[in-house]
Amino acid sequence: MSKIHKSFDESVKRYAVSQLETGKYSVADVAREVGATKSAVWKWSQYYGRYREKPEVLEVVMSSEKEEIERLKSALADSHMKNLLYEEILNQAGKHYKVDLKKTFGTSQSEFSNEVASQSGNSVKPQE
């Protein structure tokens, strides 16, 4: 016995999917009404249904994500350059004042003054 291949018009397929999406009818009910198999109605719902994947939307999301990645890469590069600049300024200031500013950062003002004075040869007594 040979299988009969039925071909359905797109409008019939869309009608079947719309009936299915109302929630009033099951896949079997819709298949019986239009004279199709349940698997055919199921495939139509995946292709024509409102919950199907839309590739054009995915491309838009992907392009906006690419733009966001490029923006973040640029911001990271700017931040890295600023960091290098600040480190060089700190090094140059340290050379000028003959103090390792990285080591003395966070110490109190009097401790810093004493360290600068001791390195320059002047002695400053801490106040008691």
pLDDT tens sequence across 36-90: 999 999 899 888 888 666 556 666 667 888 899 999 999 999 999 999 999 999 8
d(CA 20, CA 42): 9
Q: What is the pLDDT of residue 58?
A: 60
Per-position b or e across 112-122, b if 16+ CB within 10 A of its CB: eebbeeeeeee
pTM: 0.39
d(CA 94, CA 101): 5
In the predicted structure, residue 24 carries a pLDDT above the cut 70: yes
Q: What is the pLDDT of residue 64?
A: 85
Q: How many CB atoms lie within 10 A of CB 36?
A: 20
